[in-house]
Amino acid sequence: MSDETGKTLKIITSMTQREIEEKKHQVEAFINDASNRIEVTPQNENGATCGDGRTTREVGAQRALRQFGGDMDDYTTAIATLRKLGIELTDDHRRRVMNKVIQVTGGAENFYLHTDTHHADETLTANLIERGILPDGSKETPDRCGDFLAKLEDPSAYGLTDYDLRIAIEYTTGNGTLANVPNDVLPGDHGEFAAVQVYGPVSLQTQTEDGTQLFVLTEDLIAKRNVAMVAALQAEFARELSGSSQSQDLATIYSQTKAQHHLTTAQKLAPDLPLFKVTIPDMYNQATVEFVKVIGNL
């Protein structure tokens, strides 16, 4: 453990009960403000954004599903899941996975990609070129969110390889299927005061009208997306999965892998923030808020 990590953990463990209660009251005010709630409908429930607190309200109002990485999260989750099931992934496997993700999201025109204004990094770009993730001559880091950046910097923490990430980049650049999908540009730095796991038929904006930010994961909608992805993978990889002793556990492993990816990203981006479980019964009634843990202590 480095000194820097030790200092971070010291900050994490020193969060007082009073501070937690103050954060809880802030969360309650955020989620009980009707203007921050989004009714889940058949039209918006499969539209994803990142759980990033900088996601604009305009985009958030149109898409109800919040998961770190947006739709690309399902590509990395699927790849890591198939690897856990013992499938030796080839270039063809990876492309079939990405094509299934695009299909489940409703086509390339509905695929959500995003970046921000501060993730260009010459040192990282040089490192990615050396690792074969980016082609020679690349000038800047690919447009991606903090979740994808974390995966680029430490793929093994997510059960991924450099080549898995190279394929994702190829799909979103040059002549790739997703190359013309507009990037939602998230401005400025992170300013989230907490993270919430949302349960119920309601989604949340990730920021208020005055710019107060919250990390948001919509767990019921994530579970629904997981079901769709598992069905697609079972159909696409029936032959390969038939040789795995764990093939019947695909749904469980997929869900566990995505949850672990989300936790890993949260711990990298916001280890000192409190996590709350939020249950919202409908668009009008009070939500319940339960403190889980400080993210770095999960």
Per-residue model confidence (pLDDT) at position 13: 47
Per-residue model confidence (pLDDT) at position 79: 99
Give the three-state DSSP class for 287: coil
pTM above 0.75, yes or no: yes
Q: Residue 268: count other Cβ atoms within 10 Å of its Cβ.
A: 17
Phi-psi category of 195—alpha, beta or left, where left has phi over 0 and alpha has psi -120 to 50? beta
Rounded-to-integer distance, Cα 298 and Cα 283, Å: 30
For residue 95, give Cα distances in angstroms to 6, 119, 260.
41, 26, 23
Per-residue model confidence (pLDDT) at position 77: 99
For residue 182, give Cα distances in angstroms to 178, 185, 189, 287.
9, 9, 21, 34
**Series of mean pLDDT values for 10-residue runs along the chain (298 residues):** 39 75 98 97 97 95 97 98 95 98 97 82 87 86 80 96 95 91 87 98 97 98 98 95 79 98 97 98 97 96
Give the three-state DSSP class for 144: coil
For residue 157, give Cα distances in angstroms to 12, 95, 254.
21, 22, 16
Rounded-to-integer distance, Cα 298 and Cα 282, Å: 29
Extents of the domains making up the chain: 3-297
